[in-house]
Chain A
Amino acid sequence: MGNYTFYKDNREFIKALESYGELVTIQQEVDWDLEMGAIVRRVCEKRLAAPYFKKIKDYPGFEALGAPLATYTRLAIAMGLNPKTSIPEISDEYVRRTTGNPIPPVLVERKNAPCKDNILTGKDADLFKLPGPMVHDGDGGRYLATWHFVVAKDPDTGTINWGMYRQMVFDERTMVGPVLPFSDMGKMFYGKYVPKNKPMPFATVIGCDPLSGIAACAPSPIPEDQFTGMLMGKPVELVKCETCDLEVPAHAEIIIEGEVIPNVWIEEAPFGEYTGYRTSPREPRTVYRIKAITYRNHPILTVSNMGVPTDEGQLLRSFSLGLEMRKLLESQGIPITGVYMLPESTHHMVVVGVRPAYSNIATQIANLVFGSKLSPWFHMVIVVDEETDIYNKDDVIHALATKCHPIRGIRKYEHSVGTPLYPFADPDDRKWSRGAQVLFDCTFPLDWPKSDLPIKVSFNKVYPKEVQEKVLKNWKTYGFKD
């Protein structure tokens, strides 16, 4: 186990954000009906500090934290790193922690679980007692669960899944949301419970510690409760649910327990989505009926606001998708120099750096990542050689525009698994989760004569070292400030 700094709950994380100047505490009352969503949206678009709402209209005693992990700075803080840690360093640390042995969770007694401070069951378990925000004007309903995860258990193997599946409040005891059939929970529910017409127990966790949230975003084969332990360096503390055989983080703010109902669908959406559009249609989707709500005293709801980049869904999903691809490619012995999925691409575009050791290596990379379970969530792979900085958008655009042959360098993959959220997809393709994918090969062919290879013209490449050093040494005396 590692000895990492981590925050055991949302409240410790809020204090850490405040200490690093990454929090704006809003004492003024804000309206859950659009105002709170609008503030969070603007924070995401301007890359500002996380808003901490102390007073929510109509809901005295409740607070909310917006955009908890919408920047790499806040991701670094969540991982107990220096806020100025670079993206490659955060990535290396994440891969290092999550490559060892899984760390199973520990169970704590109810008396040590703050999420049991208040317990509502029966008719008292009413979703409108929680300040679910109307996040965007035109949404299909109030989305109580935007930065959260849903706990479910495989009925055959007992394997736990934590995943972020958005949930819209329908009425006092009903939520509804998309559970795509190729997602982990979709495979469990539609593959194992629905054929037996059995309801699937679930627990929605809102306001968890930041590392549990990061784990729930990660498309790792390791169960997320154990993955969280790997990120923390010690077991995450769980407590048993009130109404079902599931366990939830003991220090979370709000827990909603119930059952996912087979063979019943209710219309859900539209919703402002992570692609930056309201794309997926309003249509019948998966139904959650609730049995209990438990929450801490003075609970703090977490609120994400999906839209144009960058929100935490885009940032963390890009981060973990890219790094799971890195693990996959490294496990296959591909000589990659790194993998970076751009959050600004809404996790649709990944850049893979490689030493082009043999012909068609870019195709091999694309085949591997498009053939993996990660595949439905992205559709563009850009493969660059080692002289391109994969973290530098200018460098990547330059490589794409200059090294990728408009015909030979682009390979199209048809008949892929897609999602209903793809804005570019035809309406019928969205309905049936059909997609397409594309590779942009930005490496020069190996069979070109060396003398024909274009030479990159940059300060670092085309001047002798002594000239570079002289220029850098005299830079300020020339009159430049930086």
Chain B
Amino acid sequence: MAQKEYDTFILSDPALIPEDREMELIVRDLTPPDIRYKYRSAYVCAMISKSESKYPDRLWIRLGRGQLQEKPWSMKILKELNKFT
């Protein structure tokens, strides 16, 4: 299965983001099977690493005004969270 790609917005100093522990974040799907769903956002519970290869999915980082960071991180989504039930 091809590697999935997501991105997320980091509103604080990326250096302060904890790694390798369950955390909740909003991610956008950049590689959905149906391309019409590109950029669909979701709250997920995930593990993330600043290493590009530690977890199965690639996670691109954007800062608060949309600035794309050069190197991607990696992520494993544990579950999608539904905020409306």
List residues of chain A with CB under 8 Å of any chain B CB. 33, 58-59, 128-129, 134, 136-142, 169-172, 174, 264, 266-267, 270, 278-279, 281-283, 289
Interface-facing stretch out of B15-23, B51-59, B62-70: B62-70
Is the Cβ of B28 less than 8 Å from the Cβ of A141?
Answer: yes
B residues less than 8 Å from A58 (CB atoms): 35-36
Bound CA span A139–B41, Å: 13
B residues less than 8 Å from A141 (CB atoms): 28, 39, 41
CB distance from B3 to the nearest CB of A (A): 20
Cβ contact of B84, chosen from A137, A140, A283, A289, cutoff 8 A: A289
Residue of A nearest to B67 (CB): A138
CB distance from A459 to the nearest CB of B (A): 48
Is the Cβ of B83 less than 8 Å from the Cβ of A278?
Answer: no
Is the Cβ of A137 less than 8 Å from the Cβ of B39?
Answer: no
Is the Cβ of B41 less than 8 Å from the Cβ of A170?
Answer: yes
| Residue contacts A-B, CB under 8 angstroms, 30 given | A58-B35, A59-B36, A128-B34, A128-B36, A128-B37, A129-B36, A136-B66, A138-B62, A138-B66, A138-B67, A139-B66, A140-B9, A141-B28, A141-B41, A142-B39, A169-B39, A171-B40, A174-B84, A264-B83, A264-B84, A266-B26, A267-B9, A270-B9, A270-B66, A278-B66, A279-B65, A282-B9, A282-B11, A282-B64, A283-B11
Is the Cβ of B35 less than 8 Å from the Cβ of A134?
Answer: no
CB distance from A432 to the nearest CB of B (A): 17
- Residue B42 at the chain A interface, CB threshold 8 Å: yes
CB distance from A301 to the nearest CB of B (A): 14
- Residue B4 at the chain A interface, CB threshold 8 Å: no
Is the Cβ of B65 less than 8 Å from the Cβ of A270?
Answer: yes
Bound CA span A361–B84, Å: 55
Interface residues on B, range: 20 to 34
Bound CA span A453–B34, Å: 72
Bound CA span A142–B41, Å: 10
Is the Cβ of B26 less than 8 Å from the Cβ of A267?
Answer: yes
Residue of A nearest to B26 (CB): A267
Is the Cβ of A281 less than 8 Å from the Cβ of B64?
Answer: yes
Is the Cβ of B67 less than 8 Å from the Cβ of A128?
Answer: no
Interface centre among B28, B65, B84 (most CB of A within 10 A): B65
Known contacts A134-B39, A278-B66; 12 further A-B pairs (Cβ under 8 A): A33-B38, A58-B35, A58-B36, A59-B36, A136-B66, A138-B62, A138-B67, A141-B39, A141-B41, A142-B39, A267-B9, A281-B11
B residues less than 8 Å from A283 (CB atoms): 11
Bound CA span A90–B65, Å: 38
Is the Cβ of B39 less than 8 Å from the Cβ of A138?
Answer: no
CB distance from B35 to the nearest CB of A (A): 6
